[in-house]
Chains A and B, each alone.
Chain A
Amino acid sequence: MGWRRRLAFAFASLMCVPALAQGPPYGIGRTPTAEELRARDISIGPTGGELPPGKGSAKEGAMTYRAKGCAGCHGAGGVGGSAPILKSRDPANPDVWARGRILPLRAPFATIVWDYINRGMPLNREGTLTADEVYALTAYLLFINGVIPEDQVLDQQNLAQVKMPLGDNYASLPEWKPHTQRLKGYPY
């Protein structure tokens, strides 16, 4: 390439900059298909926007809890197993924080319970539960902790509406900024 052509090329490249700023700077990567997006989009936010269709009740959940082996680790009824307990031993205590670290009780949103079961359970057979089974197990665990009545059917629409006992009684994270200390005045 002669210097004139090089100069012309450099000039043309410069002219392209405003156009590039509108689109992807490098043009690397491909657009995922709707199916690929749906398959990976499993993190359920507090509004429940990512929930799949399905439904389940506490009664169905109690059967699933036995059939899928949940009781083997978490104990019949959510207590007495080797895995973390799922039902408070101190249900009358008005202080939710004092009732123990129990996911279906302490979670600020019912969607967290659904998400946790869906991605994390059963141990070593993760991803094998159907959406209906996850709705049913969520309903069962919320029922045994007194969060919802036994006959309530949870589904894609109403799960995020469940009022959890913790309310907004939990810490919010401070707005993070670079070059900023984590807690002003700590420890002196």
Chain B
Amino acid sequence: MGAKRPARREFLRTGATLAGGFTLGAAAPALGQVPAQPPMIKGEREGEIGYGARSKYVTSSRIPHGGRPSPDNFGLTFHVASPLQDSVGVITPSSLHYFATTRGAYLPDIDPRQHTLMIHGLVDRPLTFTMDDLKRFPSVTRLHFIECAGNRASRRAKTVQETHGMTSNAEWTGVLLSTLLKECGFKSSAKWFVAEGAEEVKGASSMPIAKAMDDAFVAYGMNGEAVRPQNGFPLRLMVPGFEGILHTKWLQRIKLVDRYYMNYNDYGHLDQDDKVAALGYQIGPKSVITFPSGDQRLPGKGFYEISGLAWSGGGAIKQVEVSVDGGKKWNKAEFRGTPQRMAHCRFAYPWNWDGNETEILSRCVDEIGQVQPTREQIAKYWNKPYDQTFSVPGLDNSIQPWKIASDGSVTNGLA
């Protein structure tokens, strides 16, 4: 029976091709006739029935970030960026969600029936939860972005995928960490917690207990299905608004401790300057125009809806402004949907391009009043000269300019 299937599929595929060829060859319908059909997908070609595939005409895909290939010659993956230039709405499809490993790594292939989360340390009752256990607790479902600390624009980057593609936004489902910590009876001496994954290096990060009791949760769901392996299947920690690396993937252990542990991932955060350290934990308010953006081309003057994404680790986005004249005048953008806390929100601004060379930019303000700065403002804050080589200390949330030439071509304004 099984052996017959490929033959049948082959027949269907051939049939579909024939049908397609037939339709394409047909002449335009005469007046009053039914319009010609497009080519048809028949049966289970490309997985339309079992697990839906997108159209073969849609080719938007992730790319390796920062020049290191993923996978490399050894099958190791490192940083992979999301195609923001093709995004619409606010959800990043799981297949296009950015992902990163702390160093080139193989992805763990975890059997969820074997996976457990252990919570111990400064608790009355250390407990181990199976995945089935976790799904019995009251759940939360929330829209949240995750952004890598390495998501910084440079003058060498061409597209918005290269400048900003290390952030994505998904609907995550799981159990509040506070629910689990209450189940374990956490002690008042617990000031920090260490979250640890099950991958080869058991990547660990220390975070304040205040975050655990506020809005952190352990997620088993992503965009309506199980979390993808690249994003931590079967369980990842969500610490909304904190930098990406702290959203511990393949989560298998949480230990409550009395001090900052400075293990593995924490060592990467070791800094000399208190102010830089403060800028390296919670993501600042950030926005970027995704259309029109680098490497795209406007076919001619006329109407366009400028569209982009805005997000902040400090809460919901309160306002986005767009400038179409290089930052001289700022215009309030509209939201598409209601901005959520620590989530991408989609903004839009109606624009009639007059065909002249210009520069377009966006900036945002979040619900606690933090404002997205220009690179010049950041340089001034650090008393450093501003030029093309200026690198933003801490996480980079600076304004991204896109230049539009009179032929409609769009390029990186930092170049």
Contacts and interface: CB of A to CB of B under 8 A. Distances in A.
Nearest to B209: A176
A181 B194 CA distance: 23
Most chain A CB atoms below 10 A, which of B133, B194, B201, B369: B201
A136 B371 CA distance: 50
Interface stretch (B24-32, B38-46, B90-98, B252-260): B252-260
B277 A172 contact: yes
A182 B200 CA distance: 32
A26 interface: yes
A171 interface: yes
Contacts, number: 156
A27 to B, nearest CB: 8
A176 B128 contact: no
A interface secondary structure, majority: loop
Contact of A45 (B259, B369, B378): B259
Interface string A93-110: 000010000010011110
B272 interface: yes
A46 interface: yes
A78 B370 CA distance: 44
A188 B377 contact: yes
Contacts of B267: 103, 107, 112, 116
A173 B260 contact: yes
Contacts of B262: 46, 108-109, 112
Interface residues of A, number: 49
B215 A178 contact: yes
Interface stretch (B50-58, B119-127, B346-354): B119-127
B282 interface: yes
A115 B263 contact: yes
Nearest to A188: B377
5 contacts: A26-B137, A28-B133, A30-B127, A41-B120, A187-B377
Interface of A: 24-26, 28-32, 36-37, 40-46, 97, 103, 106-109, 112, 115-116, 119-120, 124, 126-127, 169-183, 186-188
Interface of B: 106, 118, 120, 125-129, 133, 136-137, 179, 182-185, 194, 196, 200-202, 204, 208, 210-211, 214-215, 252-253, 255, 257, 259-264, 267, 269-279, 281-282, 284, 313-315, 367-371, 373, 377-378, 380-381
